[in-house]
């Protein structure tokens, strides 16, 4: 298919994107063959599958289960805070609750969420590959995840760790709770993350379809690639840190504990040397999704493609040298503090560039308010707040006041929930029809979105005020004067809980009962929509796709929208409309 | 000077607070500006160009890049953050350099209370008393895990580490009482490791100093002990009415045979109580964690005697 570059292209002579037409359709109206029903039947075929799409779905199931558990803890934390200490937990239980919440949400939910679920599913499809480079390693990563999760759950059901997800020494060496199984769990989960990272790097380098040059890759792929680099380089540091911690606890080797001649601040350096880059493991893939969503639902070429792509790489590299900003109050030298503050500001710039580019992409677009786009817009709203409040924390004198208060809690939830989780959920709503060949109820999904949007802002914006007023974090009880704001924040959390619940029901229902859709319901231009059926065949494409145009060439190509009306070969049967 | 709390910030009562607040409020307004810019832009674009019926099949005519725009939104934020960086760093350096004439108070953090030792040798627990308009240097260390000394109204915070001194300082500008929080998670009662900073006028401070030197003149030993029971924070762990706590209640313990974790038992008498106060980890009462801090160096002999007398009284040994 020839690409017409002329600016005067008219609708008549503009090429149209391809449309993947299924060979035939099964009794439910879904394409035949498809990876869900034709890659082998029964539980065993799933547990032994090497198909990246099925592995993505298996991750979806277990990671969402973990999100549910972490979410229950979040609601318990907030319910406790309707009033000062003792509403439904004692202090020790509260400490265990926020530790479990934080540890589950970071290690078991958010780190694997986008790469392991959506990345696994769409990365090979988006670059026109049959699978990832090492399909067996991919399956292994899932089992390693399950193994690590088992340790975490063991800690949870025995005597849940109460150290905070940061496991700061010497507290974590002394406490009587199940710290070892939790850290061992996080240690093992690290391998799962590394496996996925290696797989993605090699896949992107080696398995791109002919014509899929680096700058024709969707920005989602760029983001996953940058993330994979951090996963591979940073995760081993967490591994060794946690291992040293376990050594200290079990064998009394004095590394961090001062009573054995160790240095507790060394632990913090080690921990944040991983965990700061890790916050970019959490946010970068989300930025990738947002780029795809904004382009697709505006039918616009992304503004400043290369800036957006390279800013991901810039973030990935600079993120390794800002860890000290988590330790401004812990007594580093003034010189170190100054450098870390300075570099922190510099790492903020690429994120700002992205936000400006996304906003400008909307200019002169053809904007659809489909559910994924609503999430993308709420990402812009919340991530902007998350990013701007990050500037407060980079500014030394102000950070001294705000450090370890609810301001931090609000800031990272704006980035991680307002950013990553919104992008993840937006991505789920975007690729759901591709994963299951079925569409969710738009009204229900929009209502769920509205609940999450309102609930989120009520919960966490309030916490900025709590924090700047001086309310410290990880507090079971608090002085009377904070009760009103805490109560308000807790109501927000309940609203958000309802939103997430409704969303889960809507999506789950759609996976089995939703109306059958065609291969490209959104009119997107990336390969998974233009060249694969919904759901895709077991080997993704009938033939190696020819990459005729870039991922967002809406100025050159007219996307063919494939709704059920023209889904397939004559006998499309919209089931359960 | 305006010292009342605002929507965003608690009362400001130290010399450094106004400087911190200046930058904070600058950041609030700057953030508001950029937030409104982005949200207004977004709303404008998505309403003006929302998808209409005839749009399907229309080719995108918007720009794909614009070097001037890209340059603007790289350069302007970079310049802005440079300004913020210097502004923040300048105040930070003031926080880091202790004035030479500062009065020095030794701060000890332990699970889960603060203790303060003053230049004249008196000590207080969970209450830091300082004169107004005087720079105070805090020389801090921890007996166990990491804590963090945080007074919101002074905008100071500094981690308190075991086996190492950390230093911070402040100069209070306003008489009053302010929260002192522990800001680094330290276990069960982290949220109850709350104290007060009491800022007194010069004359009140003098009076307080004299009062603090008070060593029970004109009181019976048991009365003095009762006073110490609260002022030295024994009350946070021990009850005298039988209600449970982190430590055993003192009701009825005198002469009682306390079972220990190692299986032995000890009769509660003067020597045992003295040892429990000075070297609490020597014998651990069965059913309790070894969390009691040592009071070695924090209590004088007379104070210990008074506490022993009080425990004897409430423990049933007095009559
Ligand atoms: C969805 C992804 C989420 C992630 C990744 C996440 C992550 C975290 C992390 C890392 C912490 C710090 C825990 C610690 O200090 O040890 C935390 C704390 C907290 N989270 Fe979340 N969270 C998420 C969702 C939520 C939601 C939906 C709520 C509200 C309902 C919530 C409420 C809280 C609260 C109140 C704390 C403070 C605990 C404290 O007192 O320190 N989180 N969260
Ligand atoms: Cu960081
Ligand atoms: Cu604490």
Over pLDDT 90: what percentage of chain A?
A: 64
What integer pLDDT is reported at residue B64 of this predicted model?
85
> Where does residue B231 rank: exposed (0-12), middle (13-18), buried (19+ CB within 10 A)?
middle
Q: Is the CB of A75 under 6 A from ligand 1?
A: yes
CA–CA separation, B272 vs B283, rounded Å? 9
Q: Which residue of A has its CA nearest to B33?
A: A388
| B77 interfaces chain A, CB cutoff of 8 Å | yes
CA–CA separation, A348 vs A172, rounded Å? 32
Expressed in angstroms and rounded, the spacing between residue A76 Cα and the centre of ligand 2 is 27
Nearest atom in ligand 1 to A163's CA:
16
CB within 8 Å: A331 and B61: no
Q: What is the mean pLDDT of residues A103-129?
A: 96
Strands B265-267 and B135-142: unpaired
Is residue A468 within 8 A of residue A407, CB to CB? The reply is: yes
CA–CA separation, A435 vs A536, rounded Å? 8
CB neighbours of A45 closer than 8 A, spacing ≥ 6?
A39
Query: Is the pLDDT score of A4 beyond 60?
Result: no
Q: Which residues are within 5 Å of ligand 2 (an ion), measured at CB?
A: A 276
**What is the residue with the minimal CA distance to atom 13 of ligand 1?**
A102
Query: Is the pLDDT score of A49 beyond 70?
Result: yes
In chain B, CATH 2.60.40.420 covers 103-213
Here the tokens at position A161 are: 């760790």
User: Residue A1 — very low, low, confident or very high, per pLDDT cuts 50/70/90?
Assistant: very low
CA–CA separation, A525 vs B54, rounded Å? 19
What integer pLDDT is reported at residue A564 of this predicted model?
60
Q: Over the stretch A330-387, which tens digit does the pLDDT of each residue have?
A: 878 888 889 999 999 998 899 899 999 999 999 999 999 999 999 999 999 999 999 9
Strands B166-171 and B156-160: unpaired
Is residue B157 within 8 A of residue A404, CB to CB? The reply is: yes
What mean pLDDT value characterizes chain B? 90
User: Residue A577 — very low, low, confident or very high, per pLDDT cuts 50/70/90?
Assistant: very low
Fold topology of B221-314 = Cytochrome Bc1 Complex; Chain D, domain 2 (1.10.760)
Q: Is the CB of A416 under 6 A from ligand 1?
A: yes
Is residue A476 within 8 A of residue B191, CB to CB? The reply is: yes
Query: Is the pLDDT score of A569 beyond 60?
Result: no
Identify the residue with better confidence: A316 or B16.
Answer: B16
B:25-44 residues touching chain A, CB 8 A cutoff: 27, 30-31, 34-35, 38-39, 41-42
Here the tokens at position B92 are: 């930070």
Here the tokens at position A264 are: 């507790």
Picking from A6, A260, A395, A524 by the largest number of B CB atoms within 10 A of its own CB, the best residue to mutate is: A395
CB within 8 Å: A470 and B181: yes
User: Residue B197 — very low, low, confident or very high, per pLDDT cuts 50/70/90?
Assistant: very high
Query: Is the pLDDT score of A565 beyond 60?
Result: no
Q: Is A29 left (phi over 0), alpha (psi -120 to 50) or beta?
A: left
Ligand 1 pocket, mutate which of A92, A101, A161 (most atoms under 8 A from CB): A101
Is residue A177 within 8 A of residue A151, CB to CB? The reply is: no
DSSP H helical segments within chain B, as ranges? 17-48, 67-96, 202-213, 221-231, 270-278, 301-314
Identify the residue with better confidence: A205 or B302.
Answer: A205
Element (H, E) at B195: strand B195-200
Q: Which residue of A has its CA nearest to B85?
A: A395
Is residue A401 within 8 A of residue B155, CB to CB? The reply is: yes
Q: What is the DSSP letter of B53?
A: G
CB neighbours of A523 closer than 8 A, spacing ≥ 6?
A296, A299, A559, A560, A561, B56
Please give the radius of gyration of chain A, using alpha carbons only, rounded to the nearest integer: 24
Q: Is the CB of A138 under 6 A from ligand 1?
A: no
* CA of A94 vs chain B CAs: smallest distance (Å): 9
What integer pLDDT is reported at residue A571 of this predicted model?
36
Query: Is the pLDDT score of B217 beyond 80?
Result: no
Helices (H) and strands (E) in chain A, counts: 20, 4
Q: What is the mean pLDDT of residues A470-487?
A: 95
Q: Over the stretch A255-287, which tens digit does the pLDDT of each residue have?
A: 888 878 888 888 888 888 888 888 898 999 999
DSSP per residue over B219-282, as a string? S-HHHHHHHHHHHTTGGGT--SSS---SS---TT-TT-EEEBTTS-EEE--HHHHHHHHH-TTS
In chain B, CATH 1.10.760.10 covers 221-314
Q: In Å, how far are A302, A365, A476, B49, B94 from A560, measured between CA atoms?
A: 19, 17, 55, 20, 63
Domains in chain A, please, with CATH? 37-530 (1.20.210.10)
Query: Is the pLDDT score of B119 beyond 60?
Result: yes
A332 CB-side CA count, 13 A: 22
Is domain B103-213 given the CATH code 3.40.50.2300 in the classification? no
User: Residue B125 — very low, low, confident or very high, per pLDDT cuts 50/70/90?
Assistant: confident
Give the global pTM.
0.87
A:24-83 residues touching chain B, CB 8 A cutoff: none
CA–CA separation, A488 vs A83, rounded Å? 10
Q: Which residue of B has its CA nearest to A466?
A: B8
What integer pLDDT is reported at residue A263 of this predicted model?
86
A445 CB-side CA count, 13 A: 23
B182 CB-side CA count, 13 A: 34
CA–CA separation, B89 vs A335, rounded Å? 10
Expressed in angstroms and rounded, the spacing between residue B191 Cα and the centre of ligand 3 is 7
User: Residue A562 — very low, low, confident or very high, per pLDDT cuts 50/70/90?
Assistant: confident
Closest CA to B80 of A394, A309, A339: A394
Strands B127-131 and B166-171: unpaired
Query: Is the pLDDT score of A570 beyond 50?
Result: no
Distance of CA A47 to the CA centre of its chain: 24
Query: Is the pLDDT score of A450 beyond 50?
Result: yes
- A-chain CB neighbours of B41 within 8 Å are 359-360, 362
Q: In Å, how far are B106, B117, B295 from B139, measured between CA atoms?
A: 5, 10, 19
CB within 8 Å: A359 and B41: yes
Q: Over the stretch A407-435, which tens digit does the pLDDT of each residue have?
A: 999 999 999 999 999 999 999 999 999 99
CB neighbours of A93 closer than 8 A, spacing ≥ 6?
none
Closest CA to A273 of A341, A332, A320: A320
Q: Over the stretch A77-91, which tens digit does the pLDDT of each residue have?
A: 999 999 998 889 999
| B64 interfaces chain A, CB cutoff of 8 Å | yes
Question: What ipTM was assigned to the predicted interfaces of this complex?
Answer: 0.90
What integer pLDDT is reported at residue B291 of this predicted model?
78
Query: Is the pLDDT score of A163 beyond 50?
Result: yes
Query: Is the pLDDT score of A2 beyond 60?
Result: no
Size of interface A-B (CB pairs under 8 A): 280
CA–CA separation, A484 vs A495, rounded Å? 17
What integer pLDDT is reported at residue A566 of this predicted model?
45
User: Residue A98 — very low, low, confident or very high, per pLDDT cuts 50/70/90?
Assistant: very high
Please name the member of B55, B158, B185 whose beta carbon is closest to the beta carbon of A366.
Answer: B55
What integer pLDDT is reported at residue B204 of this predicted model?
93
CB within 8 Å: A367 and B81: no
DSSP per residue over A250-274, as a string? HH---SS-GGGT--HHHHHHHHHHH
Identify the residue with better confidence: A454 or B298.
Answer: A454
CA–CA separation, A212 vs B265, rounded Å? 79
Q: What is the DSSP letter of B10?
A: -
Q: What is the DSSP letter of A395?
A: S
Closest CA to B34 of A437, A352, A434: A352
**Partner residues linked to B61 by β-bridges:** none
DSSP per residue over A105-155, as a string? IIIIIIHHIIIIIIIHHHHHHHTT-SS-S-HHHHHHHHHHHHHHHHHHHHH
Handedness of CA A568, A573, A576, A577 (dihedral sign): positive
Closest CA to A357 of B218, B261, B71: B71
CA–CA separation, A283 vs A53, rounded Å? 22
User: Residue A575 — very low, low, confident or very high, per pLDDT cuts 50/70/90?
Assistant: very low
A:130-159 residues touching chain B, CB 8 A cutoff: none
What mean pLDDT value characterizes chain A? 90
Q: In Å, how far are A346, B34, B36, B37, B77 from B68, measured between CA atoms?
A: 20, 19, 22, 18, 14
Element (H, E) at B157: strand B156-160
Least trusted range by pLDDT, from A117-131, B56-70, B189-203: B56-70
Q: Which residues of A434-464 are buried (b: 16+ CB within 10 A; e: fewer)?
A: bbbbbbbbeebbebbbebbbebbbbbbbbbb
What integer pLDDT is reported at residue B2 of this predicted model?
46
What integer pLDDT is reported at residue A188 of this predicted model?
93
What integer pLDDT is reported at residue B235 of this predicted model?
86
């Amino acid at each position: 298919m020839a690409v017409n570059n002329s600016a005067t292209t008219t609708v008549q002579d503009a090429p149209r994107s391809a449309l993947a037409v299924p060979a035939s359709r099964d009794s439910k109206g879904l394409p035949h063959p498809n990876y869900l029903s034709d890659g082998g039947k029964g539980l065993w075929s799933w547990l032994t599958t090497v198909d990246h799409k099925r592995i993505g779905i298996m991750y979806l199931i277990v990671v969402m289960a973990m999100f549910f558990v972490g979410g229950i803890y979040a609601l318990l934390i907030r319910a406790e805070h309707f009033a000062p200490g003792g509403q439904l937990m004692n202090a020790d239980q509260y400490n265990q609750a926020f530790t479990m919440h934080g540890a589950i949400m970071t290690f078991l939910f958010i780190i694997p969420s986008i790469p392991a679920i959506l990345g696994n599913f769409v990365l090979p499809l988006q670059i026109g590959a049959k699978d990832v480079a090492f399909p067996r390693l991919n399956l292994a990563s899932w089992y390693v995840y399950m193994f690590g999760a088992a340790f975490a759950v063991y800690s949870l059901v025995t005597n849940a760790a109460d150290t905070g997800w940061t496991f700061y020494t010497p507290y974590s060496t002394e406490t009587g709770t199940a710290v070892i199984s939790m850290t061992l769990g996080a240690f093992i989960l690290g391998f799962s993350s590394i496996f996925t990272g290696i797989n993605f790097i090699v896949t992107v380098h080696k398995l791109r379809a002919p014509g899929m040059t680096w700058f024709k890759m969707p920005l989602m792929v760029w983001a996953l690639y940058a993330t994979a680099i951090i996963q591979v380089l940073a995760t081993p540091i967490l591994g060794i840190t946690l291992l040293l911690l376990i050594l200290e606890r079990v064998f009394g080797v004095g590394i961090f504990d001062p009573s054995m001649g160790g240095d507790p601040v060394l632990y913090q350096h080690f921990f944040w040397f991983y965990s700061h880059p890790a916050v970019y493991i959490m946010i970068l893939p989300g930025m990738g999704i947002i780029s795809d969503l904004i382009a697709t639902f505006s039918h616009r070429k992304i503004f400043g493609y290369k800036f957006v792509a390279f800013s991901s790489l810039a973030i990935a590299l600079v993120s390794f040298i800002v860890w000290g900003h988590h330790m401004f109050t812990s007594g580093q030298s003034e010189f170190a503090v100054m450098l870390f503050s300075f570099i922190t500001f510099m790492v903020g710039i690429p994120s700002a560039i992205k936000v400006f580019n996304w906003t400008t992409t909307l200019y002169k677009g053809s904007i659809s308010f489909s559910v994924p786009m609503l999430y993308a817009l709420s990402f812009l709203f919340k991530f902007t707040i998350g990013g701007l409040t990050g500037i407060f924390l980079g500014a030394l004198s102000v950070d001294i006041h705000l450090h370890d208060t609810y301001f931090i809690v609000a800031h990272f939830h704006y980035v991680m929930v307002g950013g990553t989780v919104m992008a993840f959920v937006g991505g789920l709503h975007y690729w759901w029809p591709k994963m299951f060949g079925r569409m969710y109820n738009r009204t229900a999904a929009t209502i769920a979105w509205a609940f999450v949007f309102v609930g989120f802002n009520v919960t966490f914006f309030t916490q900025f005020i709590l924090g700047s007023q001086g309310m410290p974090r990880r507090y079971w009880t608090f002085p009377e004067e904070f009760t009103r704001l805490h109560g308000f924040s807790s109501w927000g959390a309940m609203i958000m809980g309802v939103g997430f619940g409704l969303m889960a029901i809507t999506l789950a229902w759609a996976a089995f009962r939703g109306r059958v859709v065609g291969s490209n319901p959104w009119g997107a231009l990336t390969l998974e929509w233009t060249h694969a059926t919904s759901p895709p065949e077991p080997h993704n494409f009938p033939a190696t796709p020819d990459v005729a145009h870039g991922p967002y060439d809406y100025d050159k190509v007219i996307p063919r929208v494939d709704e059920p009306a023209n889904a397939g070969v004559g006998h499309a049967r919209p089931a359960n409309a | 000077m305006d010292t009342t709390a605002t929507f965003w910030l608690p009362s400001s009562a130290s010399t450094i607070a106004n400087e911190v607040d200046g930058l904070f409020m600058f950041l609030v307004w700057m953030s508001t500006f950029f937030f409104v810019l982005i949200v207004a832009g977004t709303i404008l674009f998505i309403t003006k160009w929302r998808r209409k019926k005839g749009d399907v099949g229309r080719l995108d005519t918007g720009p794909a890049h614009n070097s001037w725009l890209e340059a603007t939104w790289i350069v302007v934020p970079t310049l802005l953050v440079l300004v913020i960086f210097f502004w923040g760093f300048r105040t930070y350096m003031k926080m880091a350099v202790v004035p030479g004439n500062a009065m020095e108070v030794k701060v000890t953090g332990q699970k889960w209370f603060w203790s303060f030792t003053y230049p004249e040798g008196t000590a207080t627990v969970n209450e830091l008393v300082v004169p107004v308009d005087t720079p105070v240097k805090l020389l801090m260390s921890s007996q166990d895990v990491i804590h963090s000394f945080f007074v919101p109204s002074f905008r100071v915070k500094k981690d308190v580490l075991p086996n190492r001194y950390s230093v911070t300082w402040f100069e209070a500008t306003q008489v009053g009482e302010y929260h002192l929080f522990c800001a680094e998670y330290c276990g069960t009662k982290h949220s109850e490791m709350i104290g007060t900073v009491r800022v007194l006028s010069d004359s009140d401070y003098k009076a307080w100093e004299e009062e603090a030197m008070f060593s029970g003149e004109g009181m019976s030993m048991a009365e003095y002990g009762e006073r110490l029971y609260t002022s030295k924070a024994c009350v946070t762990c021990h009850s005298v009415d039988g209600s449970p706590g982190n430590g055993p209640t003192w009701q009825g313990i005198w002469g009682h045979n306390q079972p220990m974790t190692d299986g032995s038992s000890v009769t509660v008498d003067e020597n045992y109580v003295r040892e429990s106060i000075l070297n609490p980890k020597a014998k651990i009462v069965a059913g309790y964690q070894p969390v009691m801090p040592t009071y070695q160096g924090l209590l004088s002999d007379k104070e210990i005697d008074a506490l022993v007398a009080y425990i004897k009284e409430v423990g049933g040994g007095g009559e």
